[in-house]
């Protein structure tokens, strides 16, 4: 896989290529010809207009098949913006663009310089070169949102309250950018599925540059859905209809699907169901699918606040299905969403749905989880150590030994990031990894730290670290002899991991 820097380029394989940015972000795509301008509003693919010839947006992933683009198209630009409009990108986890080929194998990754007040970043562009196509990393920021990007590419942007496309009663168009994400026309249900396992993608770098002693943190791996069937978020809307929790018929349907895959049955948990109900109601009130509510409370924070500590968690956020049978059928219709339903790790589930106000849209939230236990936490820490040592052994290095003092410091840092809502090697009062190790009683002279957030399993987080130069350097540093591992669930990303090395 190629680690790109701004301006770097790489040839693309033939066929459909996928672009993904994990975390609280929205992707957009602009299709242009040699002039650099769009041919019309239909060349802009974003949350209210999720498809154009050769390009489709679903959740946090855009698929581009250059061979199916409209006639005259020679360039496709990929942009990222915050899922909550107007939020400066500098306040969010770092952006890591993952590019995969038609066979699902990684093609490239680009971690741009961390933005500050910008609210949109042009990440990369696909461009025709001879008979083939290439990918170039960009990293250009805009402070005036998608409307500014649209104007630069020749899209007419209607002001809020105007009669342009996307205004009330109109079709989806760029007026939605200026007006604060009104819903598109009714369509197929959107979905947000947080799938465990490597299929969700590896963490990217966040903050700092790879190769520092502390390493570079990872980015979130959850998948917010596209609200293609959601109504506009107008002021003064009526309240959402009461939430219906744990609808009849749901549990037998999912357990039948699990049994067909050899997975044990799940049981309903009241705390998960309460969190699912609160989140479904929040989405219905806003008229859009999102892993966060209007006040910034994440789905995972709801779960933790309800008294449920988890080791593993997955979710489905869906709008559209009318009945439990329709909802389950939809969740089983895609490979990744089906994997969540049938994952053997999950033992408990909570589900709820709410009808949106002033519309017939139904918003669903399903939460799948494994409760946190000391044994489970120890098993995951051992798995991270085992996988880390497998990488060291393959590189001809001595394995690391578990260190209980480093483990205390690592676990404390993961829990602290969740409790105080930060994501950094430096704590709010300025504490660094070596300070935490020393406070725990460690006497190691050399200290290094890897952190990551959003990954759903030990295999996924170690794989992500190994695909990042800074993290990989820590894992394969010959002078390190010991390791402590920390994990905590909650926060905005769902999972927070810490590796603390000593030597």
pLDDT in tens, 319-355: 888 889 999 998 998 888 899 999 999 999 999 999 8
- The H or E element spanning position 31 is strand 25-32
Asked if the model's pLDDT at residue 42 lies above 50, the reply is yes
Asked if the model's pLDDT at residue 381 lies above 60, the reply is yes
pLDDT confidence of 357, banded at 50, 70, 90? confident
**pLDDT digit string (tens) for 73-123?**
999 999 998 887 778 888 788 888 999 999 888 899 888 887 878 888 899
**pLDDT digit string (tens) for 215-257?**
322 222 333 333 323 333 333 333 444 444 556 789 999 999 9
The pLDDT score that the predictor gives to residue 1 is 58
- What does the pLDDT average to over 399-420? 96
CA-CA distance, 354 to 342, in Å (whole number)? 24
- What does the pLDDT average to over 401-406? 97
CA-CA distance, 32 to 122, in Å (whole number)? 14
The tally of CA atoms less than 13 A away on the side-chain side of residue 29 is 30
**pLDDT digit string (tens) for 452-498?**
888 889 998 999 898 888 889 999 999 999 999 999 999 888 999 99
Asked if the model's pLDDT at residue 203 lies above 60, the reply is no
Between 268 and 151, whose confidence is greater?
268
- Quick one: tokens of 373? 């236990």
The pLDDT score that the predictor gives to residue 89 is 86
Mean pLDDT score across all residues of the chain: 79
Q: Residue 495: which residues within 8 A CB-CB, separation 6 or more?
A: 313, 453, 454, 455, 456, 487, 488, 489
Closest CA to 225 of 45, 51, 59: 59
CA-CA distance, 311 to 456, in Å (whole number)? 9
The pLDDT score that the predictor gives to residue 140 is 83
CA-CA distance, 487 to 413, in Å (whole number)? 9
Asked if the model's pLDDT at residue 23 lies above 50, the reply is yes
- The H or E element spanning position 305 is helix 299-305
Asked if the model's pLDDT at residue 435 lies above 70, the reply is yes
Q: Residue 456: which residues within 8 A CB-CB, separation 6 or more?
A: 194, 195, 196, 197, 200, 221, 312, 313, 314, 494, 495
The pLDDT score that the predictor gives to residue 34 is 80
Between 246 and 373, whose confidence is greater?
373
Tracing tokens 């990894």 back to the chain, one arrives at 433
The pLDDT score that the predictor gives to residue 172 is 28
Q: Cβ(451)–Cβ(495) under 8 Å?
A: no
CA-CA distance, 93 to 430, in Å (whole number)? 19
Q: Cβ(362)–Cβ(277) under 8 Å?
A: no
The pLDDT score that the predictor gives to residue 186 is 27
Between 196 and 255, whose confidence is greater?
255
CA-CA distance, 192 to 298, in Å (whole number)? 13
The pLDDT score that the predictor gives to residue 224 is 30
CA-CA distance, 474 to 469, in Å (whole number)? 9
pLDDT confidence of 359, banded at 50, 70, 90? low
Is residue 139 left, alpha or beta, with left meaning phi > 0 and alpha meaning psi from -120 to 50?
left
pTM of the predicted structure, to 2 decimals:
0.57
The pLDDT score that the predictor gives to residue 303 is 94
First and final C-alpha spacing in the chain: 30
Between 144 and 499, whose confidence is greater?
499
- The SS3 call for residue 451 is strand
Between 39 and 306, whose confidence is greater?
306
- Quick one: tokens of 23? 């975390």
The backbone torsions φ and ψ at residue 379, rounded to the nearest 5 degrees and listed phi first, read: -65, -40
Asked if the model's pLDDT at residue 163 lies above 60, the reply is no
- What does the pLDDT average to over 280-308? 87
Between 370 and 357, whose confidence is greater?
370
CA-CA distance, 454 to 488, in Å (whole number)? 11
Q: Tell me how far CA of residue 36 lies from CA of 75, 349, 450, in angstroms.
A: 8, 49, 41
Name the pairing type of β-strands 244-245 and 267-268. Answer: unpaired
- Quick one: tokens of 468? 């990042």
Angle (nearest 5°) at CA 399 between 398 and 404: 135
Q: Cβ(445)–Cβ(374) under 8 Å?
A: no
**pLDDT digit string (tens) for 267-293?**
999 999 999 999 999 888 888 788 888
Between 400 and 333, whose confidence is greater?
400
Q: Cβ(108)–Cβ(19) under 8 Å?
A: no
- What does the pLDDT average to over 191-196? 33
- The SS3 call for residue 325 is helix
């Amino acid at each position: 896989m190629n680690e790109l820097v701004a301006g770097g380029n790489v040839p693309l394989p033939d066929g459909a290529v996928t672009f993904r940015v994990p975390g609280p972000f929205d992707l957009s795509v602009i299709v242009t010809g040699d002039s650099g301008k769009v041919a019309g509003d239909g060349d802009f693919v974003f949350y209210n207009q999720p498809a154009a010839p050769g390009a489709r947006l679903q959740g946090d992933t855009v698929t581009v098949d250059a061979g199916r683009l409209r006639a005259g198209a020679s360039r496709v630009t990929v942009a990222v913006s915050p899922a909550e409009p107007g939020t400066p990108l500098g306040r969010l986890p770092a952006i890591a663009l993952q590019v995969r080929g038609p066979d699902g194998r990684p093609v490239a990754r680009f971690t741009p310089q961390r933005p500050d007040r910008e609210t949109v970043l042009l990440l990369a562009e696909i461009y025709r070169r001879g008979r083939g196509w290439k990918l170039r990393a960009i990293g250009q920021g805009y402070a005036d949102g998608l409307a500014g990007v649209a104007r630069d590419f020749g899209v007419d942007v209607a002001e809020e309250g105007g009669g342009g496309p996307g205004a009330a009663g109109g079709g989806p168009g760029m007026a939605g950018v200026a007006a604060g994400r009104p819903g598109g026309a009714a369509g197929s249900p959107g979905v947000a599925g947080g799938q465990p396992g490597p299929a969700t993608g590896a963490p990217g770098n966040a903050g700092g540059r790879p190769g520092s002693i502390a390493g570079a943190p990872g980015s979130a791996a959850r998948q917010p859905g596209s609200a293609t069937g959601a109504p506009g978020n107008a002021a003064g809307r009526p309240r959402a209809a009461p939430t219906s929790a744990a609808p009849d018929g749901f549990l037998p349907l999912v357990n039948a699907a699990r049994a067909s895959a050899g997975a044990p049955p799940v049981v309903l948990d009241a705390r998960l169901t309460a969190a699912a109900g609160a989140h479904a109601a929040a989405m219905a009130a806003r008229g859009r699918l999102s892993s966060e509510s209007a006040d910034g409370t994440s789905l995972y924070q709801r779960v933790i606040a309800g008294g449920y500590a988890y080791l593993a968690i997955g979710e489905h956020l869906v709008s559209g299905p009318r009945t439990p049978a329709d909802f389950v059928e939809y969740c089983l219709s895609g490979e990744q969403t089906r994997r969540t339903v049938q994952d053997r790790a999950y033992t408990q589930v909570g589900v709820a749905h709410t009808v949106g106000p002033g519309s017939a849209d139904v918003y669903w939230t399903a939460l799948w989880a494994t409760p946190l236990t000391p044994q489970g936490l120890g098993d995951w820490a051992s798995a991270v150590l085992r996988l880390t040592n497998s990488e060291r052994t393959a590189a001809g290095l001595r394995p690391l030994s578990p260190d209980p003092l480093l483990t205390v410091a690592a676990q404390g840092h993961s829990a602290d990031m969740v409790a105080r809502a930060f994501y950094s090697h430096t704590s709010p009062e300025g504490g660094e990894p070596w300070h935490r190790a020393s406070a725990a009683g460690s006497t190691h002279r050399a200290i290094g730290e890897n952190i990551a957030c959003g990954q759903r399993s030990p295999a996924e987080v170690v794989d992500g670290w190994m695909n990042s130069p800074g993290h990989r350097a820590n894992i394969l540093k010959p002078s390190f002899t010991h390791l402590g591992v920390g994990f905590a669930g909650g926060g905005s990303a769902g999972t927070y991991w810490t590796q603390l090395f000593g030597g």
